[in-house]
Structure 1
Amino acid sequence: MAELKYKPVAHDHNAFLDKAKQRAGFDEAYEALELEYTLASQMLKARTKAGLTQDAVAERMGTTKSAVSRLEAAGRHAPSLATLKRYAAAVGCDLQVKLVARKSA
């Protein structure tokens, strides 16, 4: 694994969620964006595991750091599958998309 050239900011996601859940309407808003938050989290983990900065990913994708930042920000926009494939390739991953049947009530 490549050595990180930057120090990630410490972030306790569970503590963040516990505090945010106290706000009115948070649960509904969070559930509406659950898939986006999950994808953003996976993207950040993959980039960190690859030891890459947003600049490095942007260079590999042929785009800008700000575009990568927008990709990694849940709920800001919906990237195309082609863009997600390019991001995955840039961080040394394959993109998998699947449909899962809902559990009947």
Structure 2
Amino acid sequence: MADLKYTPVPHDHATLLAKAKKRAGFTEAYDALELEYALAGQMLKARAKAGLTQDAVAERMGTTKSAVSRLEAAGRHAPSLTTLKKYAAAVGCDLQVKLVARKPA
């Protein structure tokens, strides 16, 4: 059985992002992936709140740690709703998807 103890790695996202924004083309590419980054952030927060490792989530989903890693990496993989439901269940959450009307320009 996988080790279920989770120890978060310290990370200063604001500093990393500020440094990256200095690179040409970064802001446009980052903005294009806004939804993917938001989803990945929610997934990471949910897993951390559940106190689970990627191994533990993988075991609960019936998949591999590398598959979970790909799911949590924004922009690298477009998961199906079925996969997102499995991930949500594995970390003790429900998945909600909604369409929001755009504001007039």
- TM-score by length of structure 1 reads 0.94
Counterpart CA distance in 2 for 1:14 and 1:69 is: 22
- Displacement of 1:79 in angstroms is 0.2
Give yes or no for contact 2:6–2:51 (8 Å, CA) kept in 1. Answer: no
Residue in 1 that maps onto 2:83: 83
1:7 and 2:4 equivalent?
no
Query: Any residues of structure 2 matched to 1:1-80 within 5 Å, and which?
Result: 5-80=5-80
Counterpart CA distance in 1 for 2:20 and 2:9 is: 19
- Displacement of 1:9 in angstroms is 1.2
- Displacement of 1:70 in angstroms is 0.4
Letter in structure 1 aligned against 2:64: T
- Displacement of 1:31 in angstroms is 0.7
Unaligned runs of 5+ in 1: none
Unaligned runs of 5+ in 2: none
Identity %: 85
Counterpart CA distance in 2 for 1:11 and 1:48 is: 13
Structure 1 ranges of 4+ moved more than 3 A: none
Instruction: Say how many residue pairs are matched.
Output: 102
- Displacement of 1:8 in angstroms is 1.5
Counterpart CA distance in 2 for 1:34 and 1:60 is: 28
- Displacement of 1:103 in angstroms is 1.0
Deviation by residue 1:21-71 (Cα, 9 ceiling, x = unmatched): 111001100011000000000000000000000000000000000000000
